């Protein structure tokens, strides 16, 4: 029995659920809570996203291992592999290209300085949308194959 596709389904949907819950529900709502200042919201957000990203990296590693293993046995369709690789690439772009800029801005705000709004936040959200679409597509394709 090949467990690679089953592991990929589980990891894909858990990863998708975490991104949806944190990025699209928790993150925007925390700033609407009573008495949550920008500094408090940013501090919480940094902790939450650091944890989310660490888990996402672990999920990406599992996905890459499944892809490598499945590529030798032919148990994953190419469309699934492409969708999963898009999700992993979006995560890598967030961590390497966008998070450092967001961190620099939030460091300034947390230190009490005024920092101009950053387009990096829009880039991060755009990559989150790409990741969500890729994970949803991969999960659906995995279930239908």
Listed in sequence order, the residues at least 6 apart from 4 whose beta carbon sits closer than 8 Å to its beta carbon are: 66, 69, 70, 73, 75, 76
Give the residue extent of every domain in the chain. Answer: 4-144
Q: Give the per-residue pLDDT at 77.
A: 92
Q: Give the per-residue pLDDT at 6.
A: 93
What pTM, to 2 d.p., does this model score?
0.93
pLDDT block averages, 10 residues each, the chain of length 145: 86 98 95 91 94 98 94 87 97 97 90 85 97 98 93
Q: Which of 4, 26, 51, 17 is nearest to 136 (CA)?
A: 17
Q: Give the per-residue pLDDT at 27.
A: 92
Q: Give the per-residue pLDDT at 4.
A: 87
- Distance, in Å, from the CA atom of 19 to the CA atom of 6, rounded to the nearest integer, reads 20
- Distance, in Å, from the CA atom of 143 to the CA atom of 44, rounded to the nearest integer, reads 35
Query: 115: which 2 tokens?
Result: 């920092």
Q: Give the per-residue pLDDT at 3.
A: 87
Q: Give the per-residue pLDDT at 114.
A: 82
């Amino acid at each position: 029995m090949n467990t690679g596709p089953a592991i990929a389904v589980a990891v894909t949907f858990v990863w998708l659920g975490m991104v949806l819950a944190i990025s699209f529900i928790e993150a925007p709502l925390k700033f609407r809570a009573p008495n949550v200042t920008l500094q408090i919201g940013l501090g919480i957000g940094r902790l939450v996203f650091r944890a989310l990203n660490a888990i996402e990296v672990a999920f990406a590693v599992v996905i890459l291992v499944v892809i490598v293993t499945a590529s030798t046995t032919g148990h994953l369709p190419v469309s699934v592999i492409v969708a999963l690789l898009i999700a992993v690439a979006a995560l890598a772009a967030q961590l390497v290209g966008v998070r450092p800029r967001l961190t620099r801005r939030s460091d300034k705000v947390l230190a009490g300085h005024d920092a101009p709004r950053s387009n990096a936040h829009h880039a991060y959200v755009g990559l989150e949308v790409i990741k969500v679409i890729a994970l949803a597509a991969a999960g659906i394709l995995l279930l239908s194959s």
